[in-house]
Structure formats: structure tokens, C-alpha cells
Amino acid sequence: MHTPLCKHAGGPMEAYVERAIQLGLREVGFSDHNPLPDGRSANVRMSEAELPYYVERVTEMRYRYRGRIDVMLGLELDYVEGLEDYLGKQVAAYPWDYIVGSIHFLDNACCEASWPRLYAGDAHQLYARYFELMRRMARSGLCDIVAHFDVVKRSGILPGEHEADDITHTLQEIKDAEVCLEINTSGYRHPELPEPQPYPMLSIVEQALGLGIPLTVNSDAHMPDQVGLQFGTIEKFLRRKNCRELAKFEQRKREMYKL
């Protein structure tokens, strides 16, 4: 779940938690977009000065709602090649329950988006660069969870046969790094996609299951009414595929729980 600190989410933090309680969820986590240095993509993330306040507010939510729901402290960490030392210090600075690693930019200056709108270039090159960075992120040790595995498809172009080897290679590196893969349901509300679907697409989720990669489910909510979006749909799919457990985190330690 996100907060208004990222400048593209809305609603009070309490409303997100209350919605989760209404849905009968036992645990939720806030994982807002991390600060980056020198004003990189500052319009879609909290500032460095706001990070301590964010941690304080999530901690406040944890104590306010204890006994009703567990509120976890997370961070969505934008992996930017060349900023590993900066990001490592950010990870070490606070008692995070989990770090979600994501890739929104393909360059160090954060100008080249991973899912450019109305993209007319070489889609295979776009996916290849994205998956290359994802493999580096998985190996970096910075994150516990890999976010929106195939988010490049928000450019309007689904991964195809040309991406099959890259997808297999990247999933294997995620497994080797002992990192968790997120099933992100925000794709069910993204109009840029050719059809409503999660990240990653369900065929890739099946590949991950076949490799034994631990999974977690995330609605990536940017508004309170998006909390838990299509969780029932994903649960039915996982049960059909004989997946009976998912991952959760506390103090960056993973634990599997029964679905």
C-alpha cells in the first residue's frame, strides 16, 4: 500500500488499514516509493526528508491497530544501476519488515522509463534491458520481493516468444537469489494493458511455481478502495495450481503461511 507522500496516491493511511480490516485481511503492509538522490523522479516518490516521517507514521499505524490487524513496515525500493551504495544505506537505516525491489527506470538519471507510453521502438530491446536490470537487482541482496515482474507491458506490448529465454533466465536468478516474487493485482485496473491481468501474467506465475519460487500477493494500492483488489481471483488460480502457501515477512525474515 502507498501513501500520499509519493505524490500519486490518495487517502489517509487509516483508510487503507480500515479497508483491509473490512476485507478480513490478517496483515497489510505499507511500502511507499523510496527517495532517490539529486531529485531523481522526485515527482513520484517521497523526499529524503520525509522518509523518517513515513517510518514514524507506519509505526503509529502498527500500534493503533494492534489486535485488529498486523501492519508491516515496508519500502518499495527503486533499483537504479550505480546507486547500490546509496540504496544499501537506505535499507540499513530503518527496521524494515520487507523491501520490495522495483524497476521504473532503465538509466541512472531516471529519465528512461521501463514502460514508456505509446512505445514505438524495439520491444525486445526494451524487455531485454529491463530483465537485465531485474537480474542485477535480484543478485544485489537489496530486496526481499521482486515487484511487478513484467511491468514493461504497460507500454501496451505484452512479452512474446522473443522474451521467453529472458523470462526463464530471470526467474532462475530470482530463485537462485532466494528472493520472493510478487503477484501484483494492480494490472486489473490499468487501462494501458491489452486486457486486465496481474503482474506477472498468469503463465509466468505458473513458471515461478514450477521453479519453487515463493510468492506473495500485493494489490499495490494507491487508493483505499484498491486494497485487496482481485485477491479472490488470484487465490482461486493458485489453488487450481496446487499452491497452498504464500510468503510473509517480519524484520526481513520470510515465513510461509497456509493459503
Convert the pLDDT of each residue in 33-81 to its tens digit. Answer: 999 999 999 999 999 999 999 999 999 999 999 999 999 999 999 999 9
Question: Which CATH number is 106's domain given?
Answer: 3.20.20.140
Domain count for the chain: 1
Q: How confident is the model at residue 253 (pLDDT cuts 50, 70, 90)?
A: very high
Measured distance CA(110)–CA(105) in Å, rounded: 5
Cell of residue 256, nine digits: 510461509
CA 104, 162, 241, 136: dihedral to nearest 10 degrees? -40
Measured distance CA(62)–CA(49) in Å, rounded: 22
Long-range contacts of 25-29 (CB under 8 A, 24+ apart): 25/69, 25/227, 25/228, 26/69, 26/70, 27/69, 27/70, 27/71, 27/72, 27/248, 28/1, 28/69, 28/70, 28/71, 28/72, 28/227, 29/1, 29/71, 29/72, 29/73, 29/74, 29/97, 29/98, 29/249
Give the model's pLDDT for residue 120. Answer: 80
Give the model's pLDDT for residue 217. Answer: 97
Of 74, 138, 55, the residue nearest 103 (C-alpha): 138
Convert the pLDDT of each residue in 93-151 to its tens digit. Answer: 999 999 999 999 999 999 999 999 878 889 999 999 999 999 999 999 999 999 999 99
Q: For residues 53 and 156, which has the higher predicted lDDT (pLDDT)? A: 53
The mean per-residue pLDDT over the stretch 189-209 comes to 96
Of 90, 14, 80, the residue nearest 46 (C-alpha): 90
The mean per-residue pLDDT over the stretch 144-160 comes to 95
Q: How confident is the model at residue 188 (pLDDT cuts 50, 70, 90)?
A: very high
**pTM for the model:** 0.97
Measured distance CA(21)–CA(71) in Å, rounded: 11
Contact present, 51 and 8 (Cβ < 8 Å): no
Give the model's pLDDT for residue 117. Answer: 85
DSSP letter for 146, please: E
Cell of residue 12, nine digits: 489517509
Contact present, 182 and 143 (Cβ < 8 Å): no
Domain limits for position 90: 4-258
Per-residue burial over 213-226, b = 16 or more CB atoms within 10 Å of its CB, e = otherwise = bbbbbbbbbbebeb
Contact present, 80 and 40 (Cβ < 8 Å): yes
Cell of residue 225, nine digits: 478502495
